[in-house]
Amino acid sequence: MAGSLLTAAPGHASVKPLTVGECNSCSCSHQNLDGRTGYLTATAVVRGGPEGACSYVSNEQNHPYMVYYCYVVNKYGNTWTYGRVSSGGGYIYGWVWDGHLSGDGSNKPCNE
């Protein structure tokens, strides 16, 4: 019996596995597919890609709001959301680990 394997992540009903080229470490495509607003639940680092080794963008505190665009599953199996974070009267864009986001981040995969 053949079938495809779907993996479940907290807050994500089913996650389509990423293919080579959709997300390669720190360079990962994204688009605004979600539009829901949430907030950072802890002091969190916003990164240039969806893993801890990716470039530092900002360290956000005091639970800033974030407009969720979409999420990916990185090569370690962790979900990260890309979006726009309110920061000191302006906005920054980047990736945040879903464990630091309300509602577990975006519910729209970037490769949808």
Note the pLDDT tens digit of each residue in 23-40. Answer: 667 888 888 999 899 999
Distances (CA, A) of 47 to 38, 43, 92: 17, 13, 10
- Phi/psi class of residue 48: alpha, beta or left (left: φ > 0; alpha: ψ in -120 to 50)? alpha
Contact 8, 15 (CB under 8 A): yes
Residue 72 has pLDDT above 60, yes or no: yes
> 3-class SS at 9?
strand
DSSP letter for 16, please: P
The predicted pLDDT at position 43 comes to 84
% of residues, the chain, pLDDT over 90? 41
Please name the residues in contact with 102: beta carbons below 8 A apart, sequence gap of 6 or more.
38, 39, 40, 41
